Amino acid sequence: MSIKIGAIAKDTVNTMLSETLCLPPSLCSPLSSTIHNRTGGIILFVMNFLRSLNEDGLLWFNLSTRRWEYDIVGIQQKEVSADVVQHMSQRMTRLPMSMQFGLKLCSCLGASFDVNALRKGGPANEFDVEEFLPFSVEVSS
């Protein structure tokens, strides 16, 4: 098994927003297109950008219509952090130490690697791969 990290497609962002906001995909399309273009489809930035839109009042739940609404013009003008390294470093320092250790091991292995290499990377008493990975991993011997 290999783990690959990269950008998600524009239609995947649209599906994610449609399901998250409980809106038809056609109503999410302008929002998802803008978010994908602004974040490059990197899921971490998509989620953070979406969160910041809500915090900044550009995405809100309207109680009278009982649905999510957004200000597309304001969203298009909103700045996205250009310093990816600083942003990632800040976010990573908030993670539990075991998660930070796992990410360090993963970064040493590259963008794609066999999960068995990850298992061999750390002392058993400090790092549990099954706890670190958010999904079940099947490995054939």
**Position 109, amino acid:** L
Q: Tell me: the pLDDT tens digits for 13-44?
A: 999 999 999 999 999 999 999 999 988 888 87
**Separation between Cα atoms, residue 47 and residue 30, nearest integer Å:** 17
For the chain, the structural domain boundaries read 10-79, 95-132
Task: Please tell me the predicted confidence (pLDDT) of residue 1.
Answer: 54
**Locate tokens 């390294």: which residue?**
85
**Separation between Cα atoms, residue 2 and residue 17, nearest integer Å:** 27
Residues 45, 52: contact at Cβ < 8 Å?
no
Task: Please tell me the predicted confidence (pLDDT) of residue 130.
Answer: 72
Q: Tell me: the pLDDT tens digits for 74-129?
A: 999 887 665 555 666 766 777 788 778 777 777 787 777 777 777 776 665 566 77
More confident site: 8 or 81: 8
